[in-house]
Structure 1
Amino acid sequence: MQSPSLKREATAGQSKATITSLDRVVVIGVLLINAHTWGLNSSYAVFLAYYLRSGTIEGASPLGFAFVGGLSISISMLVSPLATWFIGRFGTATTLRIGVVLEAVSFIGASFSSHIWHLLLSQGLCFGLGLGFCFTSTVGVVPQWFTKRRSFANSVATCGSGFGGLTYSLATNAMISNLGLAWAFRILAILAFVVNGACSLIVRDRNKAVGAVHIPFHKDLFKRFEFWLFLGWGFFSLLSYVIVVFSITDYAQSVGFTASQGSLAAAIFNLPK
């Protein structure tokens, strides 16, 4: 008959093996989610260049198109307190799936857009909400599964955004050229929904195990000078990033490159990310 101590050791060994097998799955899942959120967001550079030259959107100015891209990024950041509350109230999986649905709906809506306000609601507001819910749900998951090589695991998961930006900058231009704008959006919607939806089934958090506390808005942080410095760094670094990532394709075309070469420039820019 097996002693209680041996049973506990066997149970602990099985638990450790389970965690070891799941941590890699979680990293891959978050990598794919980053590729199909931040990576897809980077493809707006290709859409922007197309909008500026095609005239398919009525009543739009270059500033209006730029505002669509800026709106998606800003909404994704502003919605984080709400997404954090959802995580604490309904769990990581449910919050992530809300983001998956919103992102897919945003691309489907954009495929039928004919006026600038259609894009503002779909590719701007709705996509920003989806991006924010997906990102907030997964940003803290990977570190929960590691005590060693945590930084390396985070870096692998984060590189999904660069991989997605590289892939979809090239793919989006090819789809627009061969299938048209509407079907490019619809294909991206299907890809995002299928991949992110599948990942929402395999990504697991350890909130209960690590005692995670989700505070939607911590106002006391605003009393700390270091926090304001951190906010300033985030503001200016993201500002410069957005300007380059969304304008590089159009700039390349404006100086004489083709649409394919412009999308390649955007892809190369996303690669180191």
Structure 2
Amino acid sequence: KQKNMSSRTRSQKGSHRCGWACLGPLTFHAQAVGAQVTLSKGGLLAERSGQKFNNGLVFSSRPVKVNERLRLRVERKVQGWHGALRVGFTTVPPTERCLPLPSMAIPNLTETAGHWAAPIPEEYCREGSEQEFWVSECGNIYFSSNGGRRVKLQSGVDLSEPLWAMIDIYGQTLSVLLLGSERKTLMGTRNSCPIPSHLLAPHVNTCHNLNHVSSSWSRPGSLDETNDCVACMEVDASVTLLCGHRCLCLNCATRVIQEIGTCPLCRGDI
């Protein structure tokens, strides 16, 4: 009886044990931060002083994997500046950087070797919006806003060395909350360590904002938007499975059907 009570207590506290499906803890790096940045909530919330539009650089606490999607929520923004978030990757470890950091990711860092970054358009970065970004197997940087279609930002990232995520809290964006990461593979979905629920409380009414955004945004036609294959994240999904999900390209569909036999989304037999 005492053993059962102890087990229930651990469950109620939401204890977490890292296993194969866990990508490990993920926060902003504690030392390599811009001159105007303050970290809180265990290194998950990064806030830039509104006095300037720059000096808002932060980096991931660990290297990230190819196709590991980092998810951010825009907590606060301010009018009066142009531009918003800039996201990207770097092969330079945060521990090897000298302080103070450069004032901007673009062009201060992107003009040096081992840095790749691009801006997310202002209209995507509303308060309460959630942004995902990742680097693909072909070295392309993509982002997705509020669970929408992927948008190609840049190409040419060197994958031969470990990569750290790089975020520039720029312009109108004042603070972002790191919500974790996710990586989908043929064997299943892996996530970073879960974040305690009390740290996820938003600063804004996200339900209202997200509903408004999803119904009113117009996406720039010049950006490359596609429904990507959930397995390779590179080719458009062109195969509709028996369950009705159109989520795989032809090459990946052949492998999934032969080696796994279930839909990657609903796990229905295919």
Higher helix share: 1
Which category of TM-score, normalised to the shorter sequence, fits these structures? under 0.3
Q: Which has the larger radius of gyration?
A: 1
TM-score, length of structure 1 as denominator length: 0.23
TM-score, length of structure 2 as denominator length: 0.23
